[in-house]
Amino acid sequence: MTAACQKSAILVTGAAGFIGANLVLRLLSDTDTAIVGVDNMNDYYDVSLKEYRLAQIERTAEKTGANWTFVRGNIADRQLVESLFETHDFGVVVNLAAQAGVRYSITNPDVYIESNIIGFYNILEACRKYPVEHLVYASSSSVYGSNRKVPYSTDDKVDNPVSLYAATKKSNELLAHAYSKLYNIPSTGLRFFTVYGPAGRPDMAYFGFTNKLLKGQTIEIFNYGNCKRDFTYVDDIVEGVVRVMRRPPEKQNGEDGLPIPPYKVYNIGNSHPENLLDFVDILQQELVRAKVLPESYDFESHKKLVPMQPGDVPITYADTSALERDFGYKPRTPLREGLRNFAEWYREFYQR
């Protein structure tokens, strides 16, 4: 971290989540700055995974002697958020707390409004009242919606969300822009593209497929296998977040003497979309290699090609040229390497 950041604490919301926990682990080995994590530990998916990630963080903090504090709470609780900012001198805030998932938003819309809209608003208000050096927040590739132009560029219009989840993420970008303009808060939104890796989210395809195959169930491959996803390994995401944290958008005034919003948005993706059928083929090979599944497993009898689901899009594909230009960074972990790490972790976690 920069010298400026070392004088203040770092807040990571969603600290027990997939990306949040990996970011905290990285920061614990990277900086002497105090780190405060907050997470409501909800049961959207198996809470034991969140507890596993927290245990990793606690062990690492103890080993490194890091200044780590965990708070169990919901960012939709305005009093909680305000008390955190009152108690700690946050220089950098990384908001990763959000209700994730496209399909879940169709059946459970309330939780998306609570966490992704009200929760984010509370963070913005706290950043206004207790000025920070940099607010970094998670957006999503889902904001590109039905955009047919690929690869997706941050210069593209994103006015056609196809899910409530996508709409809440676009709303985050709009709210952040308004607060950056009104209160000169440096903010950077990061549009993540299909993040995967060890100890990930069970609702993601690679994890769900593995669970089903192990139970002898049939996996459904949407859009008859014609979907492509820009799978991005979690370590690559974390590297991007850390680089962005270090360099907030510059504060400057326009010709009218008023602040130009210190506001940026970047894609973080692998820039190499993989066909779902090819992805499943690599996954099954790595599951066999890791001895999660036997070599004799009949994969073909456990696959089913099905139509596209509501809220899904046929392709995600990141244009990361802005990230490369401003930070000299581009994700590059090959899919096979990432899935190999996941398969080996899965064997250790579930089959020990």
Distance (Å, rounded) from C-alpha 11 to C-alpha 306? 42
- Which residues neighbour 151 within 8 Å (Cβ) at sequence distance 6 or greater? 271, 317, 318, 319
Cα dist from 95 to 4, 241, 346, whole Å: 19, 11, 27
Distance (Å, rounded) from C-alpha 234 to C-alpha 147? 25
Residue 265 in tokens: 């948005």
Q: Which of 165, 179, 266, 317 is catalytic?
A: 165
Q: Quick count: other Cβ atoms within 10 Å of Cβ 3?
A: 6
Residue 122 in tokens: 């509370």
Maximum Cα interatomic distance, the chain, rounded to a whole number of Å: 71
Which DSSP symbol is given to 8?
Answer: S
Distance (Å, rounded) from C-alpha 178 to C-alpha 120? 13
Half-sphere exposure of 175 (CA within 13 A, CB side): 23
Q: What are phi and psi of 244, to 5 degrees?
A: -70, -40
Residues in the chain: 352
Distance (Å, rounded) from C-alpha 4 to C-alpha 143? 32
Q: Is 165 a catalytic residue?
A: yes
Q: Quick count: other Cβ atoms within 10 Å of Cβ 300?
A: 6
Cβ–Cβ < 8 Å for 203, 49 = no
Residues with catalytic function: 165
